[in-house]
Amino acid sequence: MNGYPARAVVDLAAIRGNVASLVEHAPTAQVMAVVKADAYGHGLVPSACAAVEGGATWLGVAQVPEALALRAAGVTAPRVLTWLYAPGAPLREAVEADVDVSVAAPWALDEVVAAARAAGRTARVHLEVDTGLGRNGLTPAQLDDLLPTALRADAEGAAELVGLWSHLAFADEPAHPTVHAQAAVFASAVRKVESAGARLEVRHLANSAATLTAPDLHWDLVRPGIAVYGLSPVPQLGGPDAYGLVPAMTVEAELATVKPVPAGHGVSYAHQYVTPRSTVLGVVPLGYADGIPRHVSGTQDVPGAPVLVGGRRTAIAGRVCMDQVVLDLGPAAADVAGDRVELFGTGADGGPTAQDWADVAGTISYEIVTRIGARVPRVHVDTAADAAALERDEVGQHA
Ligand SMILES: *Cc1c(COP(=O)(O)O)cnc(C)c1O
C-alpha cells in the first residue's frame, strides 16, 4: 500500500456507528461531530462525511482553516462551527463559506462584524462563555459588557446571535462539583442572553464525556469528539463497548527485519533493554516521528507499549527511536520480515487499544491518536460496505 510499511487504517463504518450511538445517547439534542486536528488524526474529510452519514448535523473544528477545508472539499450540508482563532484570521472567508464562528473576546466580535460587512452577508455567531474552565471564552462580566454590542450587530443584520456555549473542566469526572457549578453559570448566561432579546438556535455545553454521562447537560446540541472515533472519554468508568462505541483507527506495520541474538544483547539506544535470554528481535518501521511516544519505550522490568504480532502480544523493547522500534519476539518466534504487527486498534482478538497505549505512556487516548504523524498514510476502509459486498458475492455464488 503506497510502498509505505505502516499505516493507520480508519474504519468509516465505525465512525458512522459511533455517531449513531451518540445520537441515541442524546435523543433531544443535535449532534456536532468534532473533527478538529484532522479528525483526531483520522483524516478530516472522510471522517466528517462518515459522521454526517451517522447522523451528525453539525461539524466542529478549532481553527478557521479547518472549517474552510471542509467547505472546500464539498462538505456543504452540515453546519460547521469554528471556535479558536487569533486576530487576523480569515473570518471573511469563513462567513462567505457559511461557517458559524465563535466569539470569545470583544476584539473577535469586532473582527466578525467587519468580516460580515466586507462579505455583504450576515455572520452566524456563537458566544462562548467561560463558566469556569479558565480557558477561552468571555467571563460572565465580559459577556455583560459585550451583549449590547452583539445585540446591535444582530439588529443591524451583521451578526446573528445563533448560539451560546461553554466547555467543562471536569466532564470526565461527572460527580465533580465544578460540573454542576459550571452548568449553573451556563444556565444563568442563557437566561441573561435570552431575556436581553436574543433568539438562540443552539445552546451547547457537552463534550463526549458529558454526552455519555450527563443527559441534563445536553441542551440543544452536544459536541462529542473522542467518542466519534470510538474511544472512551471516561476510561475509569467504562470502555468503548460500555457506550456502544468501536475504535475506528488501527495502526499497523510490517516487520522490517527479524534476527536471532544471544542473551545479554543490548537493544536500541542506550541499551535500556538487554535481552534476558537468547531471542529473536523484530524491527517495526515506526518511531517517535510517526507519533509513537518516546514514553512507551520498554526495559526488562517495565514493558513498553503492547503490540500484537502473529496473534500474540508482546511489548516494545528498548528506546523508541525516530523511525523505528524493536520488539523482543521471544526465542521460539517464527515471525519473518513482512509479517503484520498491530500497534493498536479495536481491541478485538486480544489486540491492544489506544487506551492501553495511553496507560503505558501516562497520557490520554486523545494524544495517542492525534499524534500519529503526517508520514503515516491514512487508509480509509468501510467494513460495512465490505461486509455488504461479501454478502452480495456469496449470494451471487449461490444463485
Ligand atoms: C475538543 C473539543 C470538544 C470535544 O471534546 P471530546 O472530549 O473529544 O469530546 C468539544 N468542545 C470543545 C470546545 C473542544 O475544544
Q: Tens of pLDDT along 157-212?
A: 999 999 999 999 999 999 999 999 999 999 999 999 999 999 999 999 999 999 99
User: What is the crossing angle of helices 12-25 and 383-398, to 10°?
Assistant: 110
- Closest listed residue to residue 48, CA positions, set 37, 34, 62: 34
Q: What is the whole-number distance in angstroms between the Cα of residue 213 and the centre of ligand 1?
A: 15
Strands ordered across the beta sheet of 312-317: 257-261, 279-284, 325-328, 312-317, 306-309, 340-344, 249-254, 6-11, 378-381
Residue 303 CB partners (closer than 8 Å, separation 6+): 315, 316, 317, 360
Q: Which pLDDT does position 395 carry in this prediction?
A: 60
Residue in 192, 259, 269, 273 annotated catalytic:
269
Query: Residue 226 CA: which ligand 1 atom is closest?
Result: 8
Q: Give the Å distance between the CA of 261 and the centre of ligand 1.
A: 47
CB 125 within 8 A of CB 160: yes
Q: What's the Rg (C-alpha) of the chain?
A: 24
Q: What is the pTM of this model?
A: 0.96
Ligand 1 binding pocket mutation candidate from 35, 131, 207 (most atoms within 8 A of CB)? 207
* Pocket, ligand 1, Cβ cutoff 6 A: 34, 36, 83, 167, 207-208, 223-227, 233
Find the 229 Cα to ligand 1 centroid distance in Å: 12
**Which one of 22, 30, 136, 223 would you pick to mutate in the ligand 1 pocket, going by the greatest count of ligand atoms within 8 A of its CB?**
223
64-119: per-residue pLDDT in tens? 999 999 999 999 999 999 999 999 999 999 999 999 999 999 999 999 999 999 99
Query: Is 135 marked as binding a ligand?
Result: yes
Containing H/E element for 260? strand 257-261
Q: Counting atoms of ligand 1 from 1, which one is nearest the CA of 207?
A: 9
User: Given this model, what pLDDT does residue 387 score?
Assistant: 78
| 3-class secondary-structure state, position 38 | helix
Instruction: Tell me the mean pLDDT per 10 residues along the chain, length 399.
Output: 88 98 98 98 98 98 98 97 98 98 98 98 98 98 98 97 98 97 98 97 98 98 98 98 98 98 98 98 98 97 97 97 98 97 95 98 98 97 84 59
- 3-state secondary structure labels for all residues of 119-148: HCCCEEEEEEECCCCCCCCECHHHHHHHHH
The domain locations on the chain are: 12-233, 249-381
Could you give the CA distance from residue 198 to residue 151 in angstroms, rounded to a whole number?
7
Q: What number does the ligand 1 atom closest to the CA of 233 have?
A: 7
CATH number, domain 249-381: 2.40.37.10
Active-site annotation holds for 4: no
Is position 36 annotated as part of the catalytic site? yes
Atom of ligand 1 nearest to the CA of 223: 10
CATH 1.10.645.10 fits 12-233, yes or no: no
> Three-state DSSP class for 248?
coil
Q: Tell me the three cell numbers of residue 389.
A: 459486498
Helices 44-53 and 64-72 pack at an angle, to 10 degrees, of 70
The answer to whether residues 18 and 246 touch, using CB atoms and an 8 Å cutoff, is yes
| pLDDT score recorded for residue 399 | 43
Q: Is residue 322 annotated as involved in ligand binding? A: yes
Q: Whose CA is nearest to atom 15 of ligand 1?
A: 62
Residue nearest to atom 13 of ligand 1 (CA): 167
